Amino acid sequence: MTLHVVVPQESEALPFTVEPGGAQVASKEVPERIHRILDGLLDGGAVLAPPGADDTVRAERLAGAVHGKELLEHLRHGVPQGADSVLDDAFAAPGLEQETPVTRGVWPAALGAAAAAVRAALLTARRGEPAYALVRPPGHHAGPGWYGGYCFLNNAVIAARTLQEEGASRVGILDVDYHLGNGTHACVQGDPTLAFASVHSSRPDDFPYAFEPGPGLFGAGSDPGPQGFLALVGDAVSYLRGQDVEALVVSVGYDVLAGDPHGSWSLAPEVFGPVAALVTEQRLPTVFVQEGGYGLPSLRGAARALALEASR
C-alpha cells in the first residue's frame, strides 16, 4: 500500500486569536506545522500526490452543501473595507464566544484545504489506497453555520461527502484530536449515512468546553496514557464498524501528544503507529485529514509512525 499525501498551496499563519476578556495572543496555527508533518510522512514511506484540476470547484460546491450560505459569504467577504480582520460572534459555535478572526486570506486558504481533502478522497476512492490531506487551516470545529478554533470549512465532512459521491453509501468519521470536533458532530447529526466517533478530552476547561455526552463520543476526563488512549480509539473504531460504514475519514490531531500547547496529555509520538494500525486493520478505504497538533518538536515523529503503518 502507498500512502498518498496531498498538500495545498501554503497560506499565511493565522495572526492571532482572542482569549476570553479580549486579549490577543499569537496563533500557533503556523506553516511550520505542515513542514514538519510532511517530513515525517515522507520519511515513513508516504509519497506526494499532485492536486487535481477541478478540486477547487468541487470543494466549493461541497462546502455549500455542508455549510450555510451566510457563513460562506462571511468567509468570502466579511472583512470590512480598510480592516485587516473581523471577529464576529454571529458565527460562533452555540454557547461560545468567537476567538478566531477572519482575515482577508482566510477564504482562499480554507478553500485550498477543502480542495486538498477532495483530492485525497478521490485518490482513495479511485485507487483503493489511503491518502492524507495535510491541510491547514484545520476544519473539525467548523459547523453548519459557524467557524472557530482555527477552523473555517469542515475538511473531514467534505472528504466524506466526496467518498459518498464516488460510491460509498455510509462513511464513518473517526476524530482522534485532543479536542472534540464539535463542528463535525453538528454537520453529521441526523444524517444516517455519516457516522461520527471521537476520542477527546472532556475536561471542562478544554475547548469546546461544554457538550452533551452521546453515542460515538469517547471522552477522557484526565490523561488516559497510551494504553487508555488506544483502548478508546479501539472503542471508537468498533462503534463505527457497528454503523456498517464502507469507508473512513480520520481526523488526525497530534495535540494529544506530550508538550502540546493546546493539550494536557503525556502521549509519545510513537502512539500514532498503533492508532494507524487500528485503522488499517479495518481494510476500508481511508482518508486521513489533518486537524490539530501544535507542539512542533513532536510532529515529525508522530507523522512518521502513522505513515509507517498506513503504508504497509
167-194 tens-digit pLDDT: 999 999 999 999 999 999 999 999 999 9
pLDDT, tens digit (0-9, with 9 covering 90-100), for 28-37: 999 999 999 9
Active-site residue 4, yes or no? no
Of the candidates 140, 141, 179, 200, the residue annotated as catalytic is: 141
Tell me 143's DSSP state: -
pLDDT at 19: 83
pLDDT value of position 1: 87
- Lay out the sheet containing 286-290: strands in order across: 47-48, 4-6, 131-133, 286-290, 247-252, 171-175, 194-201, 217-220
Q: What is the pLDDT of residues 270-308, one digit of tens each?
A: 999 999 999 999 999 999 999 999 999 999 999 999 999
Opening angle at CA 101, ends 33 and 80, nearest 5? 135
What does the DSSP assignment read for 94-139?
TT----S-EETTHHHHHHHHHHHHHHHHHHHHHHSS-EEE--SS--
Question: Please, how many CA atoms are within 13 Å of residue 182, restricted to the half-sphere of its CB?
Answer: 25
Locus of grid cell 457497528:
242
